Amino acid sequence: MTDAADEADRNSEHAEAMRALKAERDALMAEKRDGRGLLMVHTGDGKGKSTAAFGMLARALGWGYKVGVVQYIKGKWITGERQFFRKFPDQVRYAVMGEGFTWDVADREKDVAAARAAWATSLDMIADPDLHLVVLDELNIALRYDYLDIAEVVEGLRSRPVDKHVCVTGRDAKPELLAVADLITEFQAVRHPFEQGFKAQRGVDF
C-alpha cells in the first residue's frame, strides 16, 4: 500500500470515528436539562483557585453579565485582578472586606468582625437580581478558622436565587459546604516557585 493510500485510509477511519463520537455526544446532550444557578467550590493545596474564579468573571463579563466579588482575607493588598475589575464599575461590584492575612493581623476579634461584615455583603450580592455570578474569594479560609458558622453559610448558599451562580474559593473547604456544591474542583500542588526560593510576582501570582 502506498503512503498516500495509507494516509487516505487513516483519514477515512478518523472521519468515521468522529461521526460516531458526534452521534454519541448528541444523544448524551439530548438527555441534559437547561442550566440553573450553580454552587461551585475551588479548593485544595494547589495554586490557581482564585485565578480560575476570576477567569469565570471575565467570561461572564464577555457575555454582558454583571458580577460580584467579595474578598474575605486579602485586605488592602493590591492585586492585579482588583485593579482590573474595578475598571468596570457598571458591571462589577467588588468588595474587599478582609483585614489582611491571618498571620499579619493576629487579632481574632478583628478577623471575626471582618468575616461577619463580608458575609453580610455576600448575602446582599447573592440576593441582587442584577448579578449573574458572585465570587466569594477565600471564604473557605474564614470558615476554616471558624470566623463564621458553617451551618449559617450553607443555609445562605442553599437559599440563593435559582438562577444565581456562586463560586467559593480557598483551601480546606469544609465537608458541609462540599456536600451541597454542584461543582467541586480540587487544585493539586505539584510544584511551586515559592519552594524554589521565589517570591510571589506581579501579574502572575497577584
Query: pLDDT-based confidence at 198, cuts 50/70/90?
Result: confident
Question: Quick check: helix, strand or coil at residue 188?
Answer: coil
Q: Is the predicted pLDDT of residue 103 greater than 60, yes or no?
A: no
Parse the chain into domains and list their residue ranges.
1-32, 37-196
Strand order, beta sheet including 92-96:
92-96, 66-71, 131-137, 165-169, 39-43, 183-186
Quote the CA–CA distance of 79 and 74 in Å, as a whole number: 9
**What's the whole-model pTM score?**
0.84
Provide the mean pLDDT of the chain: 89
Percent of residues, the chain, with pLDDT higher than 90: 65
Instruction: Give residue for cell 476554616.
Output: 144
pLDDT at position 70: 97
Q: Is residue 146 very low, low, confident or very high in pLDDT (cuts 50, 70, 90)?
A: very high
At 165, which helix (H) or strand (E)?
strand 165-169
Evaluate whether 142 touches 115 at the Cβ level (below 8 Å). Answer: yes
pLDDT, tens digit (0-9, with 9 covering 90-100), for 23-36 = 778 776 676 566 79
Is residue 61 within 8 A of residue 130, CB to CB? The reply is no
Question: Does residue 102 surpass a pLDDT of 60?
Answer: no
Pick the CATH number of 37-196 from 3.40.30.10, 3.40.50.300, 3.30.43.10, 1.10.10.10: 3.40.50.300
Give the span between the Cα atoms of 133 and 126, in whole angstroms: 8
In order of 2, 117, 120, 131, the CA distances from 39 in angstroms are 56, 21, 18, 14
Using the predicted structure, report yes or no on whether residue 75 has a pLDDT greater than 80: no
Residue 130 and residue 158: Cα distance in Å, rounded?
19
Find the mean pLDDT for residues 49-63: 97
Q: What is the CA radius of gyration of the chain?
A: 22
Does 66 have pLDDT greater than 80?
yes
pLDDT digits (tens, 9 = 90+) for 158-184: 999 999 999 999 999 999 999 999 999
